[in-house]
Structure 1
Amino acid sequence: MLTIENVLINTRGVRYAKASRFEAPTPVEWDGVRGSSQRGPACPQPPSSLLPVVGDSVAGLTFDENCHVLSVTAPADASGLPVMVWFHGGAYVTGSGESRKYDASLLASEGVVVVSVSYRLGIFGYLHDNLGLQDQIVALRWVRDNIAAFGGDPANVTAFGQSAGADSVYALMLSTDEPLFHRAIMQSAPLGARGPERAAMTEALRAFVTVDASTPADEVLAVQQQVPAMAAQFAPAGGMPFGPVLGDVDLTSAASRIELLIGHTADDGSPYVADQPDAWEVVTELVFAGPARQFAADWTAAGGQAATFNFKWRPEGAPLGACHCIELPFLFDPDGWTGAGMLAGQEPDPVLAKTMRGLWAGFARNGMDALPSRSLEFGG
């Protein structure tokens, strides 16, 4: 049996691409070096609006627009293991795959290789040409070409993410026919904020944001902080002003080759209307839960296989219930989440955490056959 003692952090901060501002990413050939403990940079960003809820996800990291890095966590004796590629959340404006909060040692101890990806955010990544999405595609190609050296199987890759990371998985499934991954896990994807207004909103953003390649990064961020007020007129998409813009989508091709696990937390919407408890359920249903159920149904109708989950665990006295992000300390090292307001000073249930990690890794290994039900519930 694998234990945490024989899990090796193979390398951090591996550069998979480089890019000048507002330019497409150019792949960087891996030099074959493993074993670095140095965390790579995060994209320049403002403080997270969820800082009181989850804590500082970029504490201790440097900032650089050339944030095209990834980290790999794998069992020391890995050979031909399933691969799980993590895309972090943060509304496409905050976060980093290099965050201590996404330490994947416990997940890798379930017999998988975990890759955490960082990509350009906000104005840097999503004002022009879906550059952040292009970054993610280049990272997945890096995984395809190099992960065997870490003991991973490039023919068995699961893309998974939470919040904007889950929305990224959605966009990745529907924007390319390259067989870069074979299963997908979407956690609390804000699909209700993805609608016909997004294309028009992005065009308006391009007119509103008057920065260029020479504008200092701190000035870019100052302009970015003005965007939400302008984008509010494009509700509901305006609730997440940045993100990939997709044209008409056809699920058929992706559904035929990708198994899907999609779900939400019971009170996903609570941080966004924290002072209106009566609205928690409404926001959760409109932005997260209802669209997740509908997408699973559409995926099945398009010929694919889909399962859903609802994460209901909440710590006693939690100010926001089973809120957005509450499941993350169950997948990753809970020490990285110490002090997060959403936990109300309590520890994640270790038994439930082990169960959840086992199911996520099992799905990555064997797909639907690993799930006890097509409708999962955790806690409650």
Structure 2
Amino acid sequence: MVGSSVEGLTFDENCQVLSVTAPAGASGLPVMVWFHGGAYVTGSGESTKYDASLLALEGVVVVSVSYRLGIFGYLRDNLGLLDQLVALRWVRDNIAAFGGDPSNVTAFGQSAGADSVYALMLVSDEPLFHRAILQSAPLGARGPERAEMTAALREFVSVDASTSVDDVLAVQKDALSMASARFSPSGGMPFGPVLGEIDLAPAASRIELLVGHTADDASPYVPDQPEAWEIATELVFAGPARQLAADWTTAGGQAATFDFRWRPANAPLGACHCMELPFLFDPAGWSHAGMLAGQEPDPVLAKTVRSLWTGFARNGMAALPSRSLELGE
């Protein structure tokens, strides 16, 4: 669908790193902190697919975060989430030296990265970021069976400090198969932050929210059942995004939604999961993505998307032409 997001990268448990992309001469610019997707088992903020140079040229400083994944990050203690919190604290304390404004920070992410931002808004009352963009967060996978699945994973996985990395990854593969077979739809993303009781009000009072999805977000998960694309997208991505925006407003916050509808001609999976990413980041990194069917992202729409995202980071709701955005049609 998108091609490898980790090709050419070094694999290491010491993966808690970040990169900063800023325009020349940056000073006091809005900051956008990117959390990559990959179902909490793959991906890296260092991927060339997330080259943020075009975003930075819109007048922002972009920070890309990598964090522990899978068993290493999320079987117990939410270590991957703690990595992300440490990165945000680093931004607060150091980003001014790179030309960013620590009082104007937007956290944004896609898929598991968007789910991460959702968790980050709820688990800490530190004012580490002031706006949030959730792209294709699989909030519908946070179903009532998630607690049962987490307990089953912890019972299924038997590793300790002496277990080799290769053996941990082998156990993780088996755990993914077990979760996928026993739990749906949560089994599609079995690892991830475990959240307790949720109260949106504290976060809604301090964070402006933009949340949305692609028109055929779920198509890669039921690729041979096009008649099910709309239903699955509604259950896992679209419906929960609209509900979160409504709940955010009810809790006293400000929220807007988006629906990304652009699809290349003859696209095998329509406007699928990840389709908006080549419109935010340098499209050169996406040239071999099967979802694009050999076509280039529409440059006019790409400019519009980058302008909307960075405008929201700069000025929040005031920068959006509508509280309900349809992009690409």
Q: TM-score range by the shorter chain?
A: over 0.9
1:162 aligns with 2:115: no
Deviation at residue 88 of structure 1 after TM alignment: 0.1
Aligned match for 2:86, one of 138, 150, 159: 138
Q: Corresponding residue for 2:98?
A: 150
Aligned match for 1:122, one of 70, 84, 90: 70
- The within-5 A match list for 1:153-232 is 153-231=101-179, 232=181
Q: Percent of aligned positions with the same letter in both sequences?
A: 83
> Distance between the aligned counterparts of 2:34 and 2:237, measured in 1?
19
Per-residue CA distance 1:243-284 (angstroms, 9 max, x = gap)? 000000100000000000000000000000001110110110
> Distance between the aligned counterparts of 2:93 and 2:145, measured in 1?
37
With a CA cutoff of 8 Å and minimum separation of 6, indicate the structure with the bigger relative contact order.
2
Q: Corresponding residue for 2:206?
A: 257
Deviation at residue 234 of structure 1 after TM alignment: 2.8
1:311 aligns with 2:260: yes
In the alignment, residue 115 of structure 1 is paired with which amino acid? V
Q: Corresponding residue for 1:276?
A: 225
> Is the partner of 2:233 in helix, strand or coil?
helix
> Distance between the aligned counterparts of 1:280 and 1:336, measured in 2?
27
> Is the partner of 2:108 in helix, strand or coil?
strand
> Is the partner of 2:107 in helix, strand or coil?
strand
Per-residue CA distance 1:27-57 (angstroms, 9 max, x = gap)? xxxxxxxxxxxxxxxxxxxxxxxxxx00110
> Distance between the aligned counterparts of 1:149 and 1:214, measured in 2?
40
Structure 1: 5+ residue stretches without partners: 1-52
Q: Corresponding residue for 2:58?
A: 110
CA RMSD of superposed structures (Å) = 0.7
In the alignment, residue 317 of structure 2 is paired with which amino acid? M
Q: Corresponding residue for 1:100?
A: 48
Q: Corresponding residue for 2:190?
A: 241
Q: Corresponding residue for 1:351?
A: 300
> Is the partner of 1:120 in helix, strand or coil?
coil
Deviation at residue 233 of structure 1 after TM alignment: 2.0
Per-residue CA distance 1:199-255 (angstroms, 9 max, x = gap)? 221121111111111211111111111113321323222221100000001000000
Q: Corresponding residue for 1:291?
A: 240
In the alignment, residue 227 of structure 2 is paired with which amino acid? D
Per-residue CA distance 1:113-151 (angstroms, 9 max, x = gap)? 000000000001000101100100000000000000000
> Distance between the aligned counterparts of 1:234 and 1:323, measured in 2?
23
In the alignment, residue 160 of structure 2 is paired with which amino acid? D
Per-residue CA distance 1:44-102 (angstroms, 9 max, x = gap)? xxxxxxxxx00110111000001010000001110000000000000000100000000
> Distance between the aligned counterparts of 1:362 and 1:239, measured in 2?
33
Q: Corresponding residue for 2:286?
A: 337
> Distance between the aligned counterparts of 1:177 and 1:200, measured in 2?
27
Structure 2: 5+ residue stretches without partners: none
1:79 aligns with 2:35: no
1:368 aligns with 2:317: yes
Q: How many residues matched?
A: 328
In the alignment, residue 318 of structure 1 is paired with which amino acid? A
> Distance between the aligned counterparts of 1:191 and 1:91, measured in 2?
12
In the alignment, residue 53 of structure 2 is paired with which amino acid? S
> Distance between the aligned counterparts of 1:204 and 1:346, measured in 2?
43
Q: Corresponding residue for 1:10?
A: none
> Is the partner of 2:209 in helix, strand or coil?
strand
